[in-house]
Amino acid sequence: MGWWSAGEHAPRAGEAAIGAALRETAQPFWIVRSHDGPAVGRGGSWTGDAAAPEGALPVLAFAPPCRPELLGDASFRADHGLRYAYMAGAMANGIGSAEIVEAMARAGMLGCFGAAGLPLPVVEAAVDRLAASVGDLPHAFNLIHSPNEPALEDAVATLYVRRGIRTVEASAYLDLTLPLVRYRLAGIHRDAEGHVVAPHRVIGKVSRVEVATRFLSPAPTAILDELVRRGDLTREQAELAAHVPVAQDITAEADSGGHTDNRPLVALLPTLLALRDRLAAQHGYDAPPRVGAAGGIATPDSAAAAFAMGAAYVVTGSINQACVEAGTSDAVRDMLAAAGQADVTMAPAADMFEMGVKVQVLKRGTMFAMRAAKLHELYRTRAGLDDLAPAERAQLERQIFKRDLDSVWEETAAFFRERDATQLERAATDPRHKMALVFRWYLGQS
């Protein structure tokens, strides 16, 4: 590998010197063969000439600088205004708190506010707070698909457009919805040089090829036509939509906390990278979409592995629950600190309970997963609460709800009167829906 001549610093031999050099990732160095064995050479000069210059040592290896700022896709960092290609993913109910978003923004990283499950005024309060605290620094809000509460998804997307939120992390989508596409395309235009500019950025979180395909493709015609019909887009804007994917970034969500299809990252990421290449070529985008990685990233090694596999950026979730900024409790932090890798399990999701969607939750030290599974089983097999045998109902009240179901229903009804009264209209004529709302009370509270 050529010859190295020392400059100001003499080479330093020995394992300790090499170990120290490897840990200082920002500085390049040579490994040379010295009289004392392999040694670290810094600075100096190198030549590839066949003949050794006077006093030069043979080079065994070269370690280029590897600064964390250089990991991932440079265009991801540039587009989002980041120092690092690193995102803290949304965590529902404000667990992904404004404090996390602020700390990430100040560190040159992207934090996403966990808007899922929160009422609209609470999300708007977070918009106010972050506008004041981080302003133009990078930050994102979660837009979560809410098949049970389409009005809420619509209202949250409208809020984000109205308040000029520039980046959303879109998650739990099985198919694209009108509010998501409306958010993405609001304000789309051509700039002075004729480039198509979509000011709203969508980072789509996906774990399946079908969903990734929708995010990596231009918005579907049926939704565009509807947006034009409703006056949300001009016909010209709808035509510009053919030049941009619904999401410029998709996150390959492998086996992770929260919603997951439990795919291994080493299988999912390459699949989605190949899909991206295919669709970028097919649609001829000016800027090809990027693919980031999430799921199980919790150490420098796992982040490095994701970057080595070609991730444009990395996203973490579970580990952020342990930090002081997380919108959670010390009881949760203690339980997570005691948990090992196998102390998790899948349990019915509160937000998509009726559809049988599951999320990954902590198993150790809690009966939640078993109890939630029991409730889902009853939901699947019974016509309504009145269809429960008296002994069965008594057991639920004693062991799971720890109160009588009538009072749970009263509280649930009061909640939905504020949040989405259509749920109550449906429950009045559909006993199974009423049962779902009562069971979701337990999932939500737990």
Binding residues (CB under 6 A) for ligand FMN: these are 89-92, 95, 114, 116, 142, 144, 169, 171, 205, 253, 256-258, 294-297, 315-318, 321
DSSP characters over 341-371: TTSEEEEE-STTTTTT-EEEEE-TT--HHHH
Q: Are strands 110-113 and 344-348 parallel, antiparallel or unpaired?
A: unpaired
Q: Are strands 290-294 and 249-253 parallel, antiparallel or unpaired?
A: parallel
Nearer to ligand FMN, 322 or 424 (CB): 322
**Residue at 349: amino acid letter:** A
Nearer to ligand FMN, 34 or 320 (CB): 320
Q: How far is the CB of 327 from ligand FMN (least distance, A)?
A: 10
What burial class does residue 104 get, using C-beta atoms within 10 Å of its C-beta: 0-12 exposed, 13-18 middle, 19+ buried?
buried
Neighbours of 131 (CB within 10 A): 14
Q: How far is the CB of 162 from ligand FMN (least distance, A)?
A: 21
Q: What is the dihedral of CA 306, 307, 308, 311, to 10 degrees?
A: 80
Nearer to ligand FMN, 352 or 437 (CB): 352
Nearer to ligand FMN, 87 or 185 (CB): 87
Nearer to ligand FMN, 108 or 327 (CB): 327
Long-range contacts of 68-73 (CB under 8 A, 24+ apart): 68/25, 71/303, 71/304, 71/307, 72/292, 72/307, 72/311, 72/312, 72/313, 72/314, 73/290, 73/312, 73/313
Q: How far is the CB of 310 from ligand FMN (least distance, A)?
A: 18
Q: How far is the CB of 57 from ligand FMN (least distance, A)?
A: 45
Q: How far is the CB of 115 from ligand FMN (least distance, A)?
A: 8
Nearer to ligand FMN, 176 or 396 (CB): 176
Contacts of 127 (CB under 8 A, 6+ apart): 141, 159, 160, 163, 165
Nearer to ligand FMN, 95 or 198 (CB): 95
Q: How far is the CB of 313 from ligand FMN (least distance, A)?
A: 12
Nearer to ligand FMN, 13 or 174 (CB): 174
Q: How far is the CB of 172 from ligand FMN (least distance, A)?
A: 7
Alpha-carbon span 374 to 390, nearest angstrom: 16
Give the residue from 216, 150, 137, 230 showing the smallest Cα distance to 184.
216
Helix (H) or strand (E) holding 33: strand 29-34
Identify each DSSP E strand in 232-304 by its residue range: 249-253, 258-259, 290-294
Nearer to ligand FMN, 273 or 293 (CB): 293
Alpha-carbon span 40 to 55, nearest angstrom: 16
Which tokens hold the place of 53?
A: 């210059």
Q: How far is the CB of 95 from ligand FMN (least distance, A)?
A: 5
Q: Enumerate helices (H) and strands (E) in the chain, giving the number of each.
A: 17, 19
DSSP characters over 50-93: SSPPTT-EEEEEEE----GGGSS-HHHHHHHT-SSSEEE---TT
Q: How far is the CB of 207 from ligand FMN (least distance, A)?
A: 10
Nearer to ligand FMN, 44 or 317 (CB): 317
**Residue at 276: amino acid letter:** R
Q: How far is the CB of 75 from ligand FMN (least distance, A)?
A: 21
